[in-house]
Amino acid sequence: MSIEERLTTAIRSLAFAQRAAADEWVRDSGLTRQQAFTLGYIDEHQDRGVIARELSEMSGTTPASVTSLLQGMEERGLITRTPSPDDSRVKFIRATAEGSRLVAGFDDTMTDAQARVFTPLTAEEQDQLLGLLQKVIDGSGLPVIAPPPVRSSRGRPVRGSRGRPVRGSTDGQSPPARGGRSTG
């Protein structure tokens, strides 16, 4: 087996371990993968205003499917939908305290899984591994995933001085990334 194949196998093994931990949490939560992924996305981005159209675009599903998904989550008390103060056709979606509690459980599960994976490495070795992986990412031209755009109270992306959507939170800082979020 070539060094490239061995590296790829090692990286896949790590990814599969993370996926297995996420799948176990999803099973135990009583949510479907799509519900878990959507709830995590809403909880992470709700401060800038998540709308159904964004969920449809982000997940690659139809608006009707998103509407059905949101109705089920709302009935379970995991999310709320409230009209925009500027445009009643736009509904902002927020996680409830129960929805946020579920998401926090996911984050705890993933943090524990990550700690188990990297326990064999010292802090110095973890830093070295991170540096090498970052070098691979930077040198290979892999896309950097930008946070979604900040939205106005009308549900439209806020545009900067050059006409491009402003990304991250409204205070100019990117929202914190949550590892292992993609479960769907």
Question: Each residue's pLDDT tens digit in the chain (184 positions)?
Answer: 999 999 999 999 999 998 999 899 888 888 888 898 899 999 999 988 899 999 999 888 899 999 999 999 999 999 999 998 888 889 999 999 999 998 888 888 888 988 999 999 999 999 999 999 889 888 988 776 655 555 554 445 555 555 554 554 333 333 333 433 333 3
Please check whether residue 77 lies inside any domain of the structure.
Answer: yes
Range of the domain at 30: 3-140
SS (H, E, C) the chain: CCHHHHHHHHHHHHHHHHHHHHHHHHHHHCCCHHHHHHHHHHHHHHHHCECHHHHHHHHCCCHHHHHHHHHHHHHCCCEEEEECCCCCCCEEEEECHHHHHHHHHHHHHHHHHHHHHHCCCCHHHHHHHHHHHHHHHHHHCCCCCCCCECECCCCCECECCCCCECECCCCCCCCCCCCCCCCC
- Report the number of distinct structural domains present in the chain: 1
Please check whether residue 182 lies inside any domain of the structure.
Answer: no
Please check whether residue 153 lies inside any domain of the structure.
Answer: no
Q: What is the CATH number of the domain that holds 107?
A: 1.10.10.10
Please check whether residue 90 lies inside any domain of the structure.
Answer: yes
Please check whether residue 149 lies inside any domain of the structure.
Answer: no
Please check whether residue 17 lies inside any domain of the structure.
Answer: yes
Please check whether residue 80 lies inside any domain of the structure.
Answer: yes
